[in-house]
Structure 1
Amino acid sequence: MALNQQHAVIFACKLVQELHGDIVECVCRQMASKGLQTLSEIIRGSSMSDAQVKQALLLLMQHNYVSAYLQRDESGQKNARPPYNQYEAHVGRILQIIRYPRFLLHTNDELGEEAERIIEILLQMGRLSLDDLISAVAGRTEQSSDQVASRVRATFMSLVQSHYIERVPPCFLPPPFVRLHENSVKGRRGAAAKAVAGVSQTFNEQAKALKSLEEMNYEKLRHRLPQDLVISMAMEGVRGPNCDIKSEADCDSKPETSSKAEEEFEVQAPKAKKQRVKAGGTGSDLPADQVGRPAGKETGGKPAASSSHHPNEDALRGNWDPTVILWRVNTEEFNRRFRHKACVDMVRDKIDEDAAGVLSAMLTATRPYETKLKEDRSAILSIEETGKTVTRLVEAGTIPSLGNDVATIVHTIAHDALELISFAGNGAGGEQYTINTGRILELVRLKQVEAVIRDRFGSSGLRIFRLLLLRGQLEQKQVTDFSMLAPKETRELLYRMLRGGFLAMQDIPRTSDRAPSRTFYTWRANYEGAGQQLAGELYAAAGRVWARLRHELDKERELLDLIEDARRTGELQFSLTDTQRQTIGRLKKISDALETSLMQLDEMIAVFNEY
């Protein structure tokens, strides 16, 4: 396990322990350190009772910290193992607990207070059906469900269409493929090593290119509104803001592919062998190995004929009732918006406000075509399409008015030495360009690394790092001459930065005995190593800030509980001593500083580990 991953697991377990207790933290630690496991393996590793592990696993799945997968039976093999469930902890999703305030601020700025309230409830509850969500909103606003139902449904539809909310993945999706590590080939020689490497490469390519039918169907239904909900809202004449209503029946952009996939699904899973999902239940909330057991498997009996069908496949095909479908917050979409914002801020710092506005419009236009969070290049976009998007965003007040025309600004960005966007050819809408998002984020990371070097080693250390980054490998005398520093100061800075992991040293012997007196020593900037080290240090620093914040709050828990009880009972006038008022002022000052530091650390964590 890499160093940054170790710090991430430790911090994630601290968050789970603080929010859900020691038992849940023990189960989470076992799953985060061991990876994909079955229920029996989790029970053995955690050394707790079956009931405790199941309850902890249910809670982790409820909050979307753990995903369940169904491993199909091994058809065509002797003594085939029946289908069984496997569980995997998502450390990255747990760590996004500290990013929840950013989620809420972004939602409030874009869609308003009602959307922020819905996102807040889903973040606290994990996953809810639409009816439960309406009831929770009614409880928050102290109104009846009938009074808020129409308003909540309209805002809910806007959030789904904006991809801020998604359906919860079912528990019968296949587990992710396991990539063979390169060390598994090092111990082999000759033809055996080539054979293993060839099989590994072929398997990985096939696993990437070919998705299972269940995954394809889930991706098709992931952000689709239930047809019954759309019909009921259309009859009421209610549409959410910026909401282009699409239902299960008309949302697919490629109906031919959809119908073909459904025909293949019918071939693989005949209706005669299906078992209906019980009303009010979902497969994603059952952390037991019996979830994926075929119909012929009975307790204490022998397995029936092998069948790879799962009883919840009807739900995957879209036959979900609106009151039964579970919804959750799509953190990937929020991170995508934050990633785009980081790119826009970097362009604003490097060029100007007009370039940042045009880049924001280009990212908005190409956002629907992004298939994953870490995209190195955006989709190709013409100047005409960029101009239309800029006009729409300016009219909406999202970006300020531009000082020059769009074509001139795009040409300025494209001809900049930083290579922020690239020319992709000519098309129907004129010249076409693509955004080098990977290059922009690399500049963001380099800026953060340079800021750390300036803080630790001063301006002289930053001068040496930039020199080596620009010139490549240099000897110590060359570094001294080019940086215009004293030899003693240069030597001390080089070895301090080497110890910190920001530089690397290469020895070049002139003789075979490698004697130090007959060896050249060259220095180079270790940018990648420094980034990986900072990624781990950021997790450790965030963990310390979080622990300090919880310590300060727990130290004054009695006073905070007193104020909370008075606020809950509506007692607006209650007396506090001068000492208590000073304590409250001090606690507020400390908590504000720590929370601000935690949010800044979280932004850097996202830049170095997720973007």
Structure 2
Amino acid sequence: MRNKVVVKPQISLVTPYGIEYAVHVITDHFGNLVSKVCECILRRGPLTRSNLKRYTELSDSQIKNCLLVLIQHNCVQAFAVEQTGGFGEATRFVTQYLALFNNIVHRMRFSKFMKILSQEFDGECLDLLEGLFEHGRLTLKQMFDRAKSAEKEGKHVTLDYVQEILLKLMNARYVERCPAPEPVLAPKDEAPAKKRGPKEIEEPKSIEQEVLEAAVPVEAIRFSVLDPDVDGEKKDIKPSSMTAGEKRKYDALESDEFGATATVVYHANFEEFVRCLRHKACVDNVRARLDDGAATVLSAMLDATRNEETEVKAKRSASLSLSSIYEEVIKTEAGRNMTLEHLRAYLAELGTPPLVKVSDDSYNIEFEKIIELAQIEEMESIVLKRYGQDAYRIFRLLSREGRLMETEKIADVTFVEKKETSKILYKLWKDDYLHMEKLVLAAARQTQFMLWKVKKQNLLKHILDELFHATLNLRQRLAYELDQEKELLKIPADKRTGALNNRNIRLNKIRKILQSSQMKLDDSIMLFYDF
């Protein structure tokens, strides 16, 4: 049994501007009332309906309707917390509501997700997924009704046909069953103690992680499809490899949450789309850092280990032998001319620095290292664009060294004048790009030294907040431009002539630039937050 990888505790990366950005997305999609409830949960953490009523000053029915909208679109998850009663009182369960920040931000990535799917599947699959993005979650019957209403002349859509499309998407893990509507969190003192060995140190789980883990169905039914048979009974297409333990949990869930009288609901599996985007980012980074051949090898390794990679933020891929890598490489058009000698050379390239680690004739992709190098390059690029070449050299030195360095030493290594070095260091420190410490030597004459370093985790959060801020500004600017031209947008397109047409061309140009800039910024956000 494979040991778990050491995971260091990390600070929360949900930043102040990240919350403002998420609230703006909800406001744009669902209006001010829903966003008010969502913002309250985002800022205060999990809340009961009574507390939401107290903080938002909305009526109980308004809060209920807002929560239903947010739950329908996978932006809020309900869960129950056990509360022990007083003397002679029974234990009761209190329902709380948790905002799913990641799912809210993913709403702006639907076009990216659709592009991923379009590379693997046909139009029918795209239509089904588009319906899930539009409505949040749907039953098989609702998917069928939607497909039926959109069917083209001469084509007959059946329930079996829709189910077949759904099964394709679930086998590829792009669609999954919705989580339990209200999972119960086990009391902390009753939670089973986890064994801790030298390689089994786990990061403390956030409340969001605990709730989502409690809500997600077991793997055996998470990607199974409801199959109405000829007698009208409900059966599930489920993996034949299910273990006895999974079978018991499956049956329990079926009777409690997905029973004969319950309706099975499906939604898009954002985790799988993020995984695909992370793989693309890794390949693109290796192509820019090394060459096309190394990128081809890495891409083939990612394809070969996709089914074994179960965590979006896994540190390392499953092990692969040289022969299995070569078998996957020659399946691709770019790798058909590659020999084993070429493959060994590219794997050696990927091993320095260790983007791919070799051990006992097996190879593992070091995801953490690839992403870390990409993050460092992005940070350095931001410093170069904002502060100039000298600041870039200074920041790069401190970033690569990872230790405290004295001002004079930094000036000597980077060939920047000491006076100018001091100005740059102070500017970077003032803008939270550097950490500074003062060292005072008490001798006959007291001497003070300024020591500088890059604290990557703190800087990562700072840059992420700046990225959310910039993206929010672009969204607000686009909303302003659309509001200024709202009368123009009401006019039919064929009647926008003369001056109106010029205004329409200008608006479309601005919209295209702003939306394109948002997508580029979102790529950076994903690099620092999602990967």
Q: TM-score range by the shorter chain?
A: 0.7 to 0.9
Equivalent residue letter for 2:463: L
| Deviation for aligned residue 1:147 | 2.9
1:390 aligns with 2:325: no
Q: How does 1:482-497 map to 2 (within 5 A)?
A: 482-497=413-428
TM-score of the superposition, structure 2-length normalised?
0.86
TM-score of the superposition, structure 1-length normalised?
0.75
Other-structure match for 1:377: 316
Q: For residues 470 and 423 of structure 1, do their structure 2 counterparts lie closer, same or farther at Cα, with a shift above 3 Å needed? A: same
Other-structure match for 2:463: 534
1:421 aligns with 2:350: no
What's the C-alpha RMSD, in Å, of the aligned pairs?
3.3
Q: For residues 552 and 143 of structure 1, do their structure 2 counterparts lie closer, same or farther at Cα, with a shift above 3 Å needed? A: farther
| Deviation for aligned residue 1:606 | 0.8
Residue-by-residue CA offset, 1:342-386 (whole Å, 9 max, x unaligned)? 111111111211211111121122222223211111122222222
In structure 2, C-alpha distance between the alignment counterparts of 1:601 and 1:176, rounded to whole Å: 39
| Deviation for aligned residue 1:9 | 1.3
Other-structure match for 2:369: 439
Other-structure match for 1:84: 94
1:118 aligns with 2:106: no
Other-structure match for 1:460: 390
Indicate conservation of the 8 Å contact 2:225/2:237, yes or no: no
Structure with higher Rg: it is 1
1:47 aligns with 2:57: yes
Q: For residues 260 and 50 of structure 1, do their structure 2 counterparts lie closer, same or farther at Cα, with a shift above 3 Å needed? A: closer
In structure 1, C-alpha distance between the alignment counterparts of 2:260 and 2:154, rounded to whole Å: 26
Q: For residues 601 and 55 of structure 1, do their structure 2 counterparts lie closer, same or farther at Cα, with a shift above 3 Å needed? A: same
1:347 aligns with 2:357: no
SS in 2 for 1:369: coil
Other-structure match for 1:37: 47
Seq. identity, %: 27
Other-structure match for 2:348: 412
1:520 aligns with 2:449: yes
Q: For residues 576 and 208 of structure 1, do their structure 2 counterparts lie closer, same or farther at Cα, with a shift above 3 Å needed? A: closer
Residue-by-residue CA offset, 1:539-567 (whole Å, 9 max, x unaligned)? 1111111111111122222222323xx6x
| Deviation for aligned residue 1:119 | 1.4
Indicate conservation of the 8 Å contact 2:183/2:211, yes or no: no
Q: How does 1:573-592 map to 2 (within 5 A)?
A: 574-592=494-512
SS in 1 for 2:314: coil
In structure 1, C-alpha distance between the alignment counterparts of 2:279 and 2:296, rounded to whole Å: 12
| Deviation for aligned residue 1:52 | 0.5
Other-structure match for 1:314: 255
Other-structure match for 2:197: none
Other-structure match for 2:405: 474
Q: How does 1:328-339 map to 2 (within 5 A)?
A: 328-339=267-278
| Deviation for aligned residue 1:172 | 3.2
SS in 1 for 2:225: coil
Other-structure match for 1:553: 482
Q: How does 1:56-95 map to 2 (within 5 A)?
A: 56-72=66-82, 74=84, 78-95=88-105
Other-structure match for 1:222: 222
Other-structure match for 2:246: 258
SS in 2 for 1:368: coil
| Deviation for aligned residue 1:410 | 5.2
SS in 2 for 1:370: coil
Indicate conservation of the 8 Å contact 1:65/1:94, yes or no: yes
Indicate conservation of the 8 Å contact 1:73/1:80, yes or no: no
Q: For residues 51 and 210 of structure 1, do their structure 2 counterparts lie closer, same or farther at Cα, with a shift above 3 Å needed? A: closer
Q: For residues 457 and 26 of structure 1, do their structure 2 counterparts lie closer, same or farther at Cα, with a shift above 3 Å needed? A: same
Other-structure match for 1:195: none
| Deviation for aligned residue 1:315 | 4.6
Structure 1 stretches of 4+ with a deviation exceeding 6 A read 176-179, 207-214
Equivalent residue letter for 2:226: P
Indicate conservation of the 8 Å contact 2:132/2:268, yes or no: yes
| Deviation for aligned residue 1:256 | 2.7
Residue-by-residue CA offset, 1:376-433 (whole Å, 9 max, x unaligned)? 11122222222233334x1xx5x554534374145324532x21011132xxxxx211
Q: For residues 211 and 388 of structure 1, do their structure 2 counterparts lie closer, same or farther at Cα, with a shift above 3 Å needed? A: farther
In structure 1, C-alpha distance between the alignment counterparts of 2:375 and 2:303, rounded to whole Å: 22
SS in 2 for 1:93: helix
1:607 aligns with 2:531: no
Residue-by-residue CA offset, 1:229-253 (whole Å, 9 max, x unaligned)? 7x99xxxxxxxxxxxxxx8465053
| Deviation for aligned residue 1:102 | 0.6
Q: For residues 597 and 352 of structure 1, do their structure 2 counterparts lie closer, same or farther at Cα, with a shift above 3 Å needed? A: same
In structure 2, C-alpha distance between the alignment counterparts of 1:7 and 1:432, rounded to whole Å: 43
Q: For residues 74 and 150 of structure 1, do their structure 2 counterparts lie closer, same or farther at Cα, with a shift above 3 Å needed? A: same
User: Gaps spanning 5+ residues in structure 2: where?
Assistant: 1-10, 190-200
Equivalent residue letter for 1:507: K
Greater Cα offset, 523-532 or 437-446: 523-532
Q: For residues 33 and 457 of structure 1, do their structure 2 counterparts lie closer, same or farther at Cα, with a shift above 3 Å needed? A: same
SS in 2 for 1:111: coil
| Deviation for aligned residue 1:6 | 1.6
Equivalent residue letter for 2:66: A
In structure 1, C-alpha distance between the alignment counterparts of 2:376 and 2:364, rounded to whole Å: 22
Residue-by-residue CA offset, 1:211-233 (whole Å, 9 max, x unaligned)? 9997585333111122447x99x
Greater Cα offset, 380-389 or 358-367: 380-389
Indicate conservation of the 8 Å contact 2:22/2:101, yes or no: yes
Equivalent residue letter for 1:44: R
Paired residues, number: 504
Greater Cα offset, 156-165 or 467-476: 467-476
In structure 2, C-alpha distance between the alignment counterparts of 1:465 and 1:43, rounded to whole Å: 49
Indicate conservation of the 8 Å contact 2:330/2:338, yes or no: no
1:130 aligns with 2:140: yes
In structure 2, C-alpha distance between the alignment counterparts of 1:518 and 1:162, rounded to whole Å: 64
Other-structure match for 2:193: none
